[in-house]
Amino acid sequence: MRNLRMNHFLFALVLLLLPSLASVANACTCGGVSPCEAYASASVVFVGRVTEASLKSTPRSFPANSVSTTLINGGVLSARFKIEEAFLGVKVAQIEISGEGTTCDFPFKSGERYLVFAYKNAQTGTFHTNICSGTAPLAESSESVAYLRSVAKRLFGGTLSGEVFREVHKEDDVVPEPISKTEIILENGKERFTGLSDANGKFEVRGIKPGRYRVRTLPATNDSHLDPMATEPRSEWELDVPAHGCVQTWFAVRPGGEISGRIVDSSGTVAEDIYPELLVSSSFLFANSG
Task: Divide the 290 residues of the chain into consecutive groups of 10 and give the mean pLDDT of each group.
Answer: 45 42 57 90 96 78 58 79 95 93 89 96 88 94 95 82 92 89 96 97 96 96 91 93 94 78 73 62 45
Same domain, 107 and 216: no
Q: Is residue 83 assigned to a domain?
A: yes
Q: How many domains does the chain have?
A: 2
| Boundary residue ending a domain (125, 151, 177) | 151
Q: Is residue 262 assigned to a domain?
A: no
- Structure letter (DSSP) for residue 169: E
C-beta atoms surrounding 285 within 10 Å:
11
**For residue 283, what pLDDT is reported?**
45
Same domain, 185 and 131: no
Is the Cα dihedral 188, 31, 149, 77 positive or negative? Answer: positive
Q: Is residue 32 assigned to a domain?
A: yes
**For residue 169, what pLDDT is reported?**
83
- Structure letter (DSSP) for residue 271: P
Query: What is the model's pTM?
Result: 0.70
**For residue 133, what pLDDT is reported?**
92
Same domain, 144 and 170: no
Which of 258, 20, 30 is closest to 135 using CA atoms? 30
CATH of residue 240:
2.60.40.1120
Same domain, 55 and 113: yes
Same domain, 130 and 193: no
Residue 238's domain comprises 154-253
Q: Is residue 177 assigned to a domain?
A: yes
CA gap 164, 162 in Å, rounded: 7
**For residue 7, what pLDDT is reported?**
47
Same domain, 144 and 21: yes
State the burial class of residue 192 (Cβ atoms within 10 Å of its Cβ: 0-12, 13-18, 19+). Answer: exposed
**For residue 151, what pLDDT is reported?**
86
What radius of gyration do the chain's Cα atoms show?
A: 24
Task: Give me the residues paired with residue 281 across strands.
Answer: 284
Q: Is residue 270 assigned to a domain?
A: no
Beta strand spans in 71-201 (E): 76-88, 94-98, 113-120, 127-128, 136-137, 158-170, 173-178, 183-187, 192-196
Same domain, 28 and 116: yes
Q: Is residue 80 assigned to a domain?
A: yes
Same domain, 82 and 126: yes
Same domain, 131 and 183: no
Same domain, 59 and 139: yes
Same domain, 144 and 24: yes
Same domain, 35 and 144: yes
Q: CA dist 27 to 59, 66, 166, Å? A: 20, 11, 37
Q: CA dist 224 to 17, 178, 212, 287, Å? A: 21, 14, 17, 28
**For residue 18, what pLDDT is reported?**
39
CATH of residue 91:
2.40.50.120
The 3-state DSSP composition of the chain as helix, strand, coil percent (nearest 5) reads 15, 40, 45
